[in-house]
Amino acid sequence: MIDAVKLHLQGIKSALAVRMAYRADFFISILIMLVVEAFVPLVTYLVYKNGASLPGWNMYEALLVQGVFLLSKGISFPFFFGMVWNTIYRVQEGTFDLLLIKPRSVLQMIIVTGFDSEDLGKLLGGIVLFSVSLAHVPFPSLDLWLKFAVLFFVSLVVMFGFGLILSGLGIVWIGNYRVYEIFTSISNFGMYPANIFSKAVVTFITAVIPVAMLGYIPASQLLGRPAEGTLIAVISSIIFLIVSLLFWKAMFRRYNSAGG
Amino acid sequence: MMNLCKKQFDVFRATVFATYKEWAAYRSHMAVSVLVGPVFFIVQVFIWSAIYSTRDTVTGLTLTQMLTYYGIVNVINYLTYDSSDVDLQWHIRTGGFITFMLRPISYFYYAICQKIGHRLLALWVEFVPVYILFLFVFKINLVPANLFWTLISVFLSFILVFLTNFCIGITGFWLTKTEGLRRAFQVLRDVCAGSLLPLTLFPEFIQKILFYMPFQFIAYVPIRVFMGSYELAGISMSIPKIVALQAVYVVVMFLVYKLLWHFGTKRFTGVGA
């Protein structure tokens, strides 16, 4: 375990060193990441400023859902979601083969060498949005914080599951960076309070593909009004991870080293 | 003159065809839009339906108009999408641009022909399926209020997107790596152009600033022309007038491109970075 962490830290160090060759572009990119992610909260802000609202949610509660989502994305994208672009890039270029001969698991190497420093901007944005929203809602008790921590960890598990699925797709769907758009479109459902969706959609985003876990469910817990079906969402998140892992392995077996 | 026209047409046909064939190999990548576009739209339907459940209009738009706005944004984007900035910056950074300087055709002409080839493929892989889905499944009224003016406005938007992106690409002559700048511009453009949300949602003073910026002509204007009425920052204009103004901005952007290109190419060393 310690060895794996050391390896991951080495990967981060190397990625930062490479990125620092273009320092100005690096800092602009971090800033841009932050601005890009601010779009959904901006729409929410504008909607509320125009006197409209999401029924049953004040502006800061709605922003808290988006803040939690962004925080989850801010942790997963730099630290392990880079496995997606890394797989796509390496498979297309033919350098995926190099990872097969390393004395470590291919999945671990894909994650370690896929550290995405620019995405730290997402984390920064998540921290800011989360903090600002939290400052405008009643401060949660320790009990709520603990429950939130558990659910937030589960949200990272779901993110990891998505990473595995997209990375697996990257092995067989050569050079298709648009798989990110598939994730973005589906995960959009997790950025809003579930009560705005129909019953069927709520069931789908909690029990089938648990995207509600990415923002809505942990945020609801923190606000002291646990979402319906939280336990089901936790169970389906674990199942989602297992299925994702199996999917990745199945795709990995189909790797043919042909490039693209 | 005839010979020159024939030569240019041959270049046009060959580049468009080659780009079409090249990208047709990756048509499944493009087809992702058939899933992504409608899924994004479904989320918008839920969000705006919830918002409108307590009121009839938001900034003067009804729920139907709001959803129509998002539907039109989606389909117009498939027609005007452009990546000339990425291509140009890549060629400059790798030094590959030098091969284009040796060719007997202008890079600008080559790039726009590539865009046409690329979008021709998108027409049937992205535009048509999503259009049909929106029209028949989501029941969004995607019939232009005035077909003639809509076609002109979308065509001008097509050129304007290309010109603005191409100008961003030209910055590659000065900056070694411009990924950050490119993304910054894209975000600014998409927000200010109304590609992500109707500009009327912004506070009045920001709307006034946006009115004088060129971005609205990329998406907001074609969408409003499509819908049949134009209004921003309390200023209403007739459709022919706003389309004429859009044409003026295209000319201005063309001059900006010429100027940047003149100074940019002088800096090119062919070494790469």
pLDDT > 70? residue A260: no
Residue tagged 């070494």 (tokens): B271
Angle (deg, nearest 10), helices A142-172 and A59-79: 50
Q: Please state, in angstroms and rounded to a whole number, the distance separating the CA atoms of residues B131 and B92.
A: 37
Chain B residues whose beta carbon lies within 8 Å of the beta carbon of residue A189: 43
Average pLDDT over residues A19-42: 81
pLDDT at A259: 66
Q: What is the mean pLDDT of chain A?
A: 91
- Would residue B208 count as lying in a domain? yes
Check residue B268 and report its DSSP letter.
-
Chain A residues whose beta carbon lies within 8 Å of the beta carbon of residue B89: none
* A43/B202 touch (CB, cutoff 8 Å), yes or no: no
Confidence of residue A6 (pLDDT cuts 50, 70, 90): confident
What three-state secondary structure class fits A212? helix
The percent of chain B in helix, strand and coil, each rounded to the nearest 5, is 75, 5, 20
Instruction: Summarize pLDDT for A51-84 with one digit per residue, the tens.
Output: 888 888 999 999 999 999 999 999 999 999 999 9
The pair of three-digit structure tokens given for residue B27, joined into one six-digit string: 């048509």
Contacts with A, B 177-196, CB within 8 Å: 177-181, 183-184, 187, 191, 196
- Would residue B102 count as lying in a domain? yes
Residue B197 exposed, middle or buried by CB count within 10 Å (0-12, 13-18, 19+): buried
- For residue B212, the one-letter residue type is Y
pLDDT at B272: 58
Name the residue with higher pLDDT: B166 or A38: B166
pLDDT at A30: 83
Confidence of residue A119 (pLDDT cuts 50, 70, 90): confident
Q: Please state, in angstroms and rounded to a whole number, the distance separating the CA atoms of residues B229 and B145.
A: 9
Angle (deg, nearest 10), helices B84-94 and B179-193: 170
Q: Please state, in angstroms and rounded to a whole number, the distance separating the CA atoms of residues A137 and A131.
A: 10
pLDDT tens over chain B, length 273 residues? 788 888 889 999 999 999 999 999 888 889 999 999 999 999 999 999 999 988 888 888 899 999 999 999 999 999 999 989 989 988 888 888 888 888 888 999 999 999 999 999 999 999 999 999 999 999 998 999 999 999 999 999 999 999 999 999 998 888 766 677 787 788 888 889 998 889 999 999 999 999 999 899 999 999 999 999 999 988 999 999 999 999 999 999 999 999 999 999 888 877 655
Average pLDDT over residues A158-167: 97
* B183/A36 touch (CB, cutoff 8 Å), yes or no: yes
Q: Determine contact, residues B15/B110, Cβ cutoff 8 Å.
A: yes
Closest CA to A159 of A92, A71, A86: A71
Q: Determine contact, residues A16/A82, Cβ cutoff 8 Å.
A: no
- Would residue B273 count as lying in a domain? no
What three-state secondary structure class fits B61? strand
Q: Please state, in angstroms and rounded to a whole number, the distance separating the CA atoms of residues A58 and B219.
A: 31
B61 beta partners: B58
- Would residue B137 count as lying in a domain? yes
Check residue B31 and report its DSSP letter.
T
The percent of chain A in helix, strand and coil, each rounded to the nearest 5, is 80, 0, 20
The pair of three-digit structure tokens given for residue A185, joined into one six-digit string: 């479109």
Q: Please state, in angstroms and rounded to a whole number, the distance separating the CA atoms of residues B148 and B225.
A: 10
Closest CA to B62 of B75, B77, B51: B51
User: If you measure CA to CA, which chain A residue comes closest to B204?
Assistant: A50
Closest CA to B81 of B11, B23, B10, B8: B23
pLDDT > 70? residue A183: yes
Please count the other Cβ atoms lying within 10 Å of the Cβ belonging to residue B55. Answer: 12
Residue tagged 């969408």 (tokens): B223
Q: How far is CA B261 from the centre of its chain?
A: 21
Chain A residues whose beta carbon lies within 8 Å of the beta carbon of residue B26: 175-176
- Would residue B272 count as lying in a domain? no
- For residue A16, the one-letter residue type is L
pLDDT at B118: 94
Residue among A26, A176, A196 minimizing CB distance to B47: A196
Q: Determine contact, residues B85/B152, Cβ cutoff 8 Å.
A: no
Total of domains in chain B? 1
Q: Please state, in angstroms and rounded to a whole number, the distance separating the CA atoms of residues B233 and A5.
A: 55
The domain of B19 spans 2-267
Q: Mind telling me how many Å the CA of B185 is from chain A's nearest CA?
A: 9
Q: Quick one: what percent of chain A has pLDDT higher than 70?
A: 99
Query: What is the DSSP pairing of strand B61-62 with strand B230-232?
Result: unpaired
Tell me the DSSP string of B124-162. IIIIHHHHHIIIIIS----S-SSHHHHHHHHHHHHHHHH
Is the CB of A173 inside 8 Å of chain B's CB atoms?
yes
Q: Please state, in angstroms and rounded to a whole number, the distance separating the CA atoms of residues B69 and B63.
A: 10
Q: Determine contact, residues A170/A176, Cβ cutoff 8 Å.
A: yes
ipTM of the complex: 0.87
Check residue A63 and report its DSSP letter.
H
